[in-house]
Amino acid sequence: MRKIAVIGTGYVGLVTGTCLASLGHEVTCVDIDEKRIASLQDGHCPLHEPGLSPLMQSNILDKRLHFTTVLQEAVQRAEAIFIAVGTPENEDGSADLSYVKNAAENLSLYMNDGTLVILKSTVPPGTNQAVHSWMQAISGRTFHVVSNPEFLREGSALHDFFYGDRIVIGHSDAEAGQMLVEIYSKMKTPILQTDPLSAEMIKYASNAFLATKISFINEISSLTEKVGADIEQVAQGMGMDRRIGEQFLRAGIGFGGSCFPKDTKALIEVAKEAGHPFRLLSAVIDVNDRQKNLLIEKALNRYGCLKGKRVAVLGLAFKPNTDDIRESPALSLIKRLQELEADPIGYDPVVKSIPLCPVSDSIHEVLTGADFAMICTDWPSISDLPLDVYENTMKEPVLFDGRNCYPQEAFQGRNIEYHSIGRRSYKGLE
Ligand SMILES: NC(=O)c1ccc[n+]([C@@H]2O[C@H](COP(=O)([O-])OP(=O)(O)OC[C@H]3O[C@@H](n4cnc5c(N)ncnc54)[C@H](O)[C@@H]3O)[C@@H](O)[C@H]2O)c1
Ligand SMILES: O=c1ccn([C@@H]2O[C@H](COP(=O)(O)OP(=O)(O)O[C@H]3O[C@H](CO)[C@@H](O)[C@H](O)[C@H]3O)[C@@H](O)[C@H]2O)c(=O)[nH]1
């Protein structure tokens, strides 16, 4: 059992802190956001993440998980400190390391000799070394910084933490690496030990590869639509080849979230600085930008003009099982609808409000009186919605499905017009 401090209680900090406590460690999570910490101290989980709230509460009850805004208190007693603060994008797309620098400098004021510092935030290659220098300039103590990027997905974060495909530990000191191996010793996940620069690159390269897979299948979906093939069949057939794999081959309205958009841009900046423009990744982003506008293009083709159209936007979170709307394709779609003077109204089972337009948690309410509906997120309450509901609530049922929730056969004999991604449109009963 180790005494651990986790700096930052965003998605990664909170999941990491909670899971490390479940592994038997004594964890104190620190944040500069006083409201957030007060609410966490009261046992309220600020994230909609399946299973997180009960696990967090049971660790609090067992006194293995604590929350504070007082950095000194947490850091002075810690044997290992995880930095899990945000690394948002700068205006030029590069990673903003100011939160990491600030956290590192502050903790070096109170840290003991020999404390292990673990960099969990997603950072460009060279940051491990920079963190060490920033801290040493202040503390003058002996310590090691180990890189330990996180690979969890929102919506399945606990599963991904406990049963991930690998734990990556980048270190330049075997003893420091071994201490982190021991922190994870109760887990059966394979561990890759490497140098810090390679660990930092593994994280960016993994996200860039997955984003590339999504843009690739989205490009293929534009082709299947043109030649009259079915993207769902094509993706299934491709995915059966184990060298390709079936995951991340779901065509849709593009990737969003707090990671792929910013991390692909950050890697492009890393490549630019290294003198090797990453042309492939630039194309991945271009394809994604176009894909986010695809449902709008389809609606414009169908109606000519969207002015005054009441649009039911189904799903606001960037993916199901989370309330995170960061870089959600639904939000770009709503903005574009408003530019075109349409009148969007949003439905989401957990996102209660957004600054852009009214939101309801009743799907029936948003469909009633809508001219057409657009599916942005495949929450079960949307993808399992009986087609009768569209027929019975909408004036003239027209559905633009950005996540291919329904098999096309489901529309045979139905009076619904159905447009999806990479498949032929169904015009409804003539
Ligand atoms: N969200 C994910 O699913 C995910 C998955 C893997 C990796 N990552 C990476 O992990 C990092 C964190 O992501 P996130 O989504 O949890 O971020 P976030 O922005 O949701 O949360 C960061 C938290 O850190 C706090 N913070 C900032 N500076 C601080 C300081 N000096 N001291 C204490 N607290 C401070 C903020 O108040 C905030 O609560 C990023 O680098 C991200 O790219 C995120
Ligand atoms: O076949 C697919 C798979 C995903 N997506 C979209 O891609 C985005 C990201 O989805 P996902 O990867 O499931 O969620 P994230 O929580 O953003 O997780 C990614 O980003 C995290 C932060 O770096 C990493 O830790 C994870 O490994 C990585 O999967 C979402 O908008 C999805 O709708 C698709 O369009 N098609």
Domain that holds residue 359: 293-419
Among residues 266, 290, 314, the one where a domain terminates is 290
Q: Whose CA is nearest to atom 14 of ligand 2?
A: 153
10 & 107 share domain: yes
Residue 83 bridge partners (DSSP)? 7, 119
Residue 278 marked ligand-binding: no
Query: Residue 429: its pLDDT value, please?
Result: 66
30 & 170 share domain: yes
214 & 141 share domain: no
CATH number of the domain bearing residue 300: 3.40.50.720
| 232 in a structural domain | yes
Strand order in the sheet with 167-170: 65-68, 26-30, 3-7, 80-83, 116-119, 144-147, 167-170, 191-194
What's the rounded Cα separation, in Å, for the pair 179 and 306?
Answer: 60
The rounded Å distance from CA 39 to ligand 2 centre is: 28
What's the rounded Cα separation, in Å, for the pair 145 and 104?
Answer: 10
Q: Quick one: which atom of ligand 2 is closest to the CA of 155?
A: 16
52 & 142 share domain: yes
Q: Whose CA is nearest to atom 30 of ligand 2?
A: 255
What's the rounded Cα separation, in Å, for the pair 56 and 40?
Answer: 9
Tell me which long-range contacts 242-251 makes (C-beta under 8 A, separation of at least 24): 248/210, 248/213, 248/214, 248/217, 249/213, 249/217, 250/214, 250/217, 250/403, 250/404, 251/217, 251/218, 251/220, 251/221, 251/404, 251/421, 251/422
Q: Whose CA is nearest to atom 15 of ligand 1?
A: 11
Ligand nearest to the CA of 160: 2
Among residues 240, 275, 290, the one where a domain terminates is 290
Asked whether the beta carbons of 320 and 294 are under 8 A apart, the reply is no
What's the rounded Cα separation, in Å, for the pair 181 and 170?
Answer: 11
* Cβ(318) – ligand 2 distance below 6 Å: yes
CATH number of the domain bearing residue 269: 1.10.1040.10
What's the rounded Cα separation, in Å, for the pair 160 and 153?
Answer: 7
Asked whether the beta carbons of 200 and 123 are under 8 A apart, the reply is yes
pLDDT tens across the length of the chain (430 residues)? 999 999 999 999 999 999 999 999 999 999 999 999 999 999 999 999 999 999 999 999 999 999 999 999 999 999 999 999 999 999 999 999 999 999 999 999 999 999 999 999 999 999 999 999 999 999 888 899 999 999 999 999 999 999 999 999 999 999 999 999 999 999 999 999 999 999 999 999 999 999 999 999 999 999 999 999 999 999 999 999 999 999 999 999 999 999 999 999 999 999 999 999 999 999 999 999 999 999 999 999 999 999 999 999 999 999 999 999 999 999 999 999 999 999 999 999 999 999 999 999 999 999 999 999 999 999 999 999 999 999 999 989 999 999 999 999 999 999 999 999 999 998 876 5
Asked whether the beta carbons of 424 and 225 are under 8 A apart, the reply is yes
- Whole-structure pTM value: 0.97
Strand order in the sheet with 343-347: 359-360, 343-347, 310-314, 372-375, 398-401, 417-419
Torsion of CA 214, 218, 224, 230, to 10 degrees: 60
Residues recognised as catalytic? 259
Residue 78 marked ligand-binding: no
Query: Residue 430: its pLDDT value, please?
Result: 55
Residue 252 marked ligand-binding: yes
ipTM attached to this prediction: 0.98
Residue 31 marked ligand-binding: yes
* Cβ(262) – ligand 2 distance below 6 Å: no
Residue 396 marked ligand-binding: no
318 & 397 share domain: yes
* Cβ(238) – ligand 2 distance below 6 Å: no
Asked whether the beta carbons of 74 and 5 are under 8 A apart, the reply is yes
The pair of three-digit structure tokens given for residue 156, joined into one six-digit string: 């399945």
C-alpha gyration radius of the chain: 24
Asked whether the beta carbons of 258 and 324 are under 8 A apart, the reply is yes
Q: Quick one: which atom of ligand 1 is closest to the CA of 102?
A: 31
21 & 91 share domain: yes
186 & 241 share domain: no
Among residues 194, 224, 251, the one where a domain terminates is 194
**What is the 8-class DSSP label of residue 154?**
T
The rounded Å distance from CA 327 to ligand 2 centre is: 12
* Residue of 12, 52, 90 to test ligand 1 pocket, by largest number of atoms within 8 Å of CB: 12
Domain count, the chain: 3
What's the rounded Cα separation, in Å, for the pair 381 and 360?
Answer: 13
* Cβ(258) – ligand 1 distance below 6 Å: yes
